[in-house]
Amino acid sequence: MNKTQTQPAVPIAVGAAEPDPPVWIEVDLQAIQRNFRRVRSFVPASVRILSVVKANAYGHGLVPVAQALEGAGADFLGVASVAEGVLLRQAGLRSAILVLGNPLPEEAGLILDSDLTQAIGDWDCARALSAAAQAAGREVSVHLKVDTGMGRYGVWHEEALELASRIRALPGVRLGGVFTHFAKAGTSVEASRAQLNHFEALLARFRAAGVSTGLTHAANSVGTLRFPEAHLNLVRPGLLMYGASPIRAGEDGPLPELEGALTLKSRVHFLKTIPVGRTVSYGGTFKAQRPTVVATIPVGYAHGYSRALSNRARLLIGGHSAPVIGLVTMEDLMCDVTDIPGVRVGAEAVLIGRQGSRRIKAEELARHARTIPYEILAGLSARIPRRYAPQTLPDRG
């Protein structure tokens, strides 16, 4: 009689070392600090900098990056959601924090409790914040978001002065700033200048009506580089903090020298040689034209490494470039290491960042994937462990 055999569970020793992750990210916090200082030197001293750390600090890690920026002298941070702002306060961040996304009415109390500055673009949000401020016996600072052409959050520029006047009359609400956002800063100088003209005309109407605007801002990373006239009295660089540029060198004169702060690493987990005519991965999109040594790397689109990079991107292994071959799968990709001497299972593979004298930038992957470097970095999954160097930074006091 056949008996069902039960495989005994493998015991795990208490305190045993955890296995190394198959893929990890290394973040150079001092590079982020140096990038902040370079951007600081790029804009006039009279212009404040709001360092944008939304989207998990563009994939670099929200809290460690915010702490590093604060240590470098940053005194204003930008996040996308109330939840991100609350996390920063819970971590002990003292800088002013602007929530750029529109909140839900029920989040008004959290905004007050966490001393956040809130972007608003409608009357209902303003009323909810006023009610929460009165209940808490405190004042909340808001920045009025003005839509000059983005078609997303914000009040239309034609209606902004009326809304601002109503907001200023609300108890417990202080209008601390007015801002807009470019829709085509990277693709159309004319459209961006038209938006800026709308915004500057609005600011002139504010002044004529005797309405104080506080901080005025329009420039994101592209605007900071491309439109000095849009610096106003605050800029909002995000991508620049992380060492990537939204425009190519030479397009708009000299750019600040930036350092990539993120390295995406893995290891070779499998090697095989395939003969001429055999294919690799789903769909057989790569066919070997010669005996080909294929390395399998446990990084896929579930980690945020885009399927659009299939048969286009490259990795660095042993200081050499290894082209990605076949379709990137959910958990793995394959690359051609035929021409790289001495590759072994366990060899380090760099997908973003530097290895030896070679470097793969987020901008390079963005071109291959026909997207933008923002998506490459911010799309890196939170499941990937981040390692920070140095782990602690000196407190500037």
Q: Tokens 């991100």 — which residue? A: 84
**φ, ψ dihedrals at 360, nearest 5°:** -110, 120
Paired sense of beta strands 173-179 and 155-156, if any: unpaired
DSSP letter for 242, please: G
Cα(155)–Cα(126) distance, integer angstroms: 12
**φ, ψ dihedrals at 184, nearest 5°:** -135, 35
Q: Is 384 exposed, middle or buried (0-12, 13-18, 19+ CB in 10 A)?
A: buried
Exposure string of 91-114, with b = 16+ CB inside 10 Å and e = fewer, is: eebebbbbbbbbbeeebbbbbbeb
Cα(180)–Cα(196) distance, integer angstroms: 8
**Do 21 and 51 contact (CB within 8 A), yes or no?**
no
| Helix (H) or strand (E) segment spanning residue 97 | strand 96-99
Q: Enter the tokens of residue 395.
A: 């407190």
CA atoms within 13 A on the CB side of 315: 32
Q: Tokens 């021409």 — which residue? A: 339
Residue positions annotated with a catalytic role: 54, 282
Helix (H, G, I), strand (E, B) or coil at 261: coil
The alpha carbon torsion through 272, 278, 281, 287 (nearest 10 deg) reads: 120
Q: Enter the tokens of residue 292.
A: 């080909």
Cα(21)–Cα(204) distance, integer angstroms: 56
Cα(290)–Cα(195) distance, integer angstroms: 55
Packed helices 160-168 and 189-208: angle between N→C axes, nearest 10 degrees:
40
- Cβ-proximal residues to 9 (8 Å cutoff; 6+ apart), any chain: none
Residue type, 122: D
